[in-house]
């Protein structure tokens, strides 16, 4: 990263420097950043807080919402890096919001416009796939899907493919190989059971 007087530093960098100076003048050497685990069940409030930076730990209210959370203290001099992280985290959170909208639309459209529903499931699945949501989808549309075996087969193939892809994402690569494969295989079995012939 460039020094403070680098000509290419830009307005964003200047703002960060100013923010750092203000924090120092106010006698703060530490700032706080909020982390949650973004999944299908993270509450909207935690999604919007994900990565937010504050001057006081107490500005993050403790909620009994079941979401995992961690409030990380970091030195003011690392502010620029944490602000970049905030941007990436906010992007993850907004992708999750978009994914939920797509899932909702797909569920609503499945009977009336299956092609549009499959398209949305495909897009949602490129963000992430969560089995509890698929189980709910199967419960809601089970009867309809049993009467439409061709659609059910396409849906099953699409979901299995997206589910398998999930395990190639970087965060799953950290799981031990055997555990990763077990989880992947178990999920495929579940999808086949719920959307099976
Ligand atoms: Zn929450």
Long-range contacts of 131-137 (CB under 8 A, 24+ apart): 131/187, 131/190, 131/191, 132/40, 132/41, 133/40, 133/103, 134/159, 134/190, 134/191, 134/194, 134/195, 135/190, 135/194, 137/103, 137/106, 137/107, 137/110, 137/194
Q: Could you tell me the distance, in angstroms and rounded to a whole number, from the CA of residue 186 to the centre of ligand 1? A: 28
45 pLDDT higher than 80:
yes
CB 47 within 8 A of CB 36: yes
Do 41 and 120 reside in the same domain of the chain? no
Q: Could you tell me the distance, in angstroms and rounded to a whole number, from the CA of residue 78 to the centre of ligand 1? A: 26
Q: Could you tell me the distance, in angstroms and rounded to a whole number, from the CA of residue 60 to the centre of ligand 1? A: 11
Q: What's the pLDDT band for 5 if we cut at 50, 70, 90?
A: very low
138 pLDDT higher than 90:
yes
Do 104 and 179 reside in the same domain of the chain? yes
**Bigger pLDDT: 4 or 166?**
166
Do 145 and 172 reside in the same domain of the chain? yes
Q: Could you tell me the distance, in angstroms and rounded to a whole number, from the CA of residue 92 to the centre of ligand 1? A: 15
CB 103 within 8 A of CB 68: no
Q: Could you tell me the distance, in angstroms and rounded to a whole number, from the CA of residue 124 to the centre of ligand 1? A: 21
Instruction: Read off the pLDDT of each residue in 173-185 and give the average, rounded to a whole number.
Output: 83
Q: What domain range is 35 assigned to? A: 7-93
Do 89 and 103 reside in the same domain of the chain? no
Q: Could you tell me the distance, in angstroms and rounded to a whole number, from the CA of residue 132 to the centre of ligand 1? A: 18
Structural domain ending residue among the three candidates 93, 111, 130: 93
Structural domain ending residue among the three candidates 40, 67, 93: 93
CB 74 within 8 A of CB 98: no
Q: Could you tell me the distance, in angstroms and rounded to a whole number, from the CA of residue 148 to the centre of ligand 1? A: 38
Instruction: Read off the pLDDT of each residue in 166-175 and give the average, rounded to a whole number.
Output: 74
Instruction: Read off the pLDDT of each residue in 89-105 and give the average, rounded to a whole number.
Output: 97
Q: Give me the residues near ligand 1 (ion), CB cutoff below 5 Å.
A: 43, 46, 65, 67
pLDDT of residue 12: 79
Do 103 and 120 reside in the same domain of the chain? yes
Do 19 and 83 reside in the same domain of the chain? yes
Averaged confidence pLDDT in the chain: 89
**The residue to which tokens 């009994």 are assigned:** 64
Q: Could you tell me the distance, in angstroms and rounded to a whole number, from the CA of residue 175 to the centre of ligand 1? A: 25
88 pLDDT higher than 80:
yes
pLDDT of residue 61: 77
Residue 1 included in any domain: no
Residue 165 included in any domain: yes
Instruction: Report the domain count for the chain.
Output: 2
Residue 2 included in any domain: no
pLDDT of residue 115: 98
Do 82 and 14 reside in the same domain of the chain? yes
Do 150 and 127 reside in the same domain of the chain? yes
Do 30 and 101 reside in the same domain of the chain? no
Stated pTM of the model: 0.82
Instruction: Write the Ramachandran bin of 7: left for phi over 0, alpha for psi from -120 to 50, otherwise beta.
Output: alpha
């Amino acid at each position: 990263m460039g020094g403070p007087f680098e000509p290419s530093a830009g307005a964003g960098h200047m703002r960060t420097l100013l923010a750092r100076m203000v924090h120092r003048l106010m006698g703060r050497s530490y700032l706080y950043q909020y982390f949650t685990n973004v999944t299908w069940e993270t509450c909207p409030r935690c999604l919007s807080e994900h990565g937010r930076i504050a001057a006081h730990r107490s500005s993050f209210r403790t909620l009994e919402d079941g979401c995992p959370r961690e409030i990380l203290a970091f030195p003011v001099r690392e502010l620029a890096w944490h602000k970049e992280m905030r941007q990436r985290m906010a992007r993850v959170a907004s992708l999750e919001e978009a994914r939920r909208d797509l899932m909702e639309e797909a569920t609503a459209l499945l009977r009336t416009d299956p092609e549009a529903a499959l398209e949305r499931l495909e897009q949602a699945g490129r963000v992430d796939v969560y089995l509890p949501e698929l189980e709910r989808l199967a419960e809601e549309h089970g009867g309809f899907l049993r009467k439409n075996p061709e659609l059910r087969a396409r849906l099953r193939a699409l979901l299995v493919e997206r589910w398998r892809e999930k395990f190639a994402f970087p965060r799953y690569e950290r799981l031990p190989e055997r555990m990763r494969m077990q989880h992947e295989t178990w999920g495929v079995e579940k999808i086949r059971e719920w959307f099976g012939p």
